[in-house]
Amino acid sequence: MRPIGTIIRLQVQRGSLKRGEKPTRVYDPAPLLAVPALSVSPDGALGASPGDPDPWIVDVHHRGHPETKNEDGLHGISLGFTSHYDAMREHFGDKLSVGCAGENIIANVDREVRYEEIAGGVAILAPDGEERVRLQVLQVAHPCKPFTGWALGRHVEPTELKQHLQFLDNGMRGFYCNGEGIGTVKLGDSVAIL
């Protein structure tokens, strides 16, 4: 295992980040909620909610969410990197804060991370090096027109959409993962390549 970065943000999507019907859907990051810990399993992620009567908030990609976006079980958890946000801010502007693309786990990394590098999976390690849980990295999170329009702050014309989608592809918007086993991920843990 080779650690590549420390987790600086954990979050859940309480609902869909895309509103409306095609072709006029829009992206809205309002349902994102930062949490201090995630319970990760093959079904998806639950976010810790210490101030709420229910101690866990179900992410919309968890298979137990009533409006799950993960019926096939192939993208219950997502992983992103701060270096990708640096590149997106350079491309689109300062509007893109870390986490706005919706990944559950975001690690501070100083370089671009490609799918080929993490295709064998990652482990989440506690600060003392103990393994908390492993994630099977399934695929890149492909970009969409609603996020691109939101990032640009305007309607995206078809003639320019392709160039922005190409920039956002190949893992720039993060990676879809599945939990291998059950574990709790906390801020300050690290992501290690298997």
* Cut 0.85: pTM above it: yes
Given pLDDT bands bounded at 50, 70 and 90, which one contains residue 57? Answer: very high
pLDDT > 90: percent of the chain: 82
The DSSP bridge partners found for residue 136 are 178
Using the predicted structure, report yes or no on whether residue 171 has a pLDDT greater than 80. yes
Q: What is the pLDDT of residues 117-137, one digit of tens each?
A: 999 999 999 999 999 999 999
The per-type count for the chain, helices as H runs and strands as E runs, is 4, 14
Tally of CB atoms within 10 A around 193: 16
Q: What is the pLDDT of residues 3-17, one digit of tens each?
A: 999 999 999 999 999
How far does Cα 189 stand from its chain's mean position? 16
CA–CA distance, 19 with 100 (Å, rounded to integer): 15
Using the predicted structure, report yes or no on whether residue 53 has a pLDDT greater than 90. no
Mean pLDDT of the chain: 93
Q: How do strand 105-108 and strand 2-13 relate by DSSP bridges?
A: antiparallel
Classify burial at 194, counting beta carbons within 10 Å of its beta carbon; exposed 0-12, middle 13-18, buried 19 or more.
Answer: middle
Using the predicted structure, report yes or no on whether residue 51 has a pLDDT greater than 80. no
More confident site: 194 or 156: 194
**How is residue 29 written in tokens?**
């990051």
Q: What is the pLDDT of residues 83-93, one digit of tens each?
A: 999 999 999 99
Strand, coil or helix: 58: strand
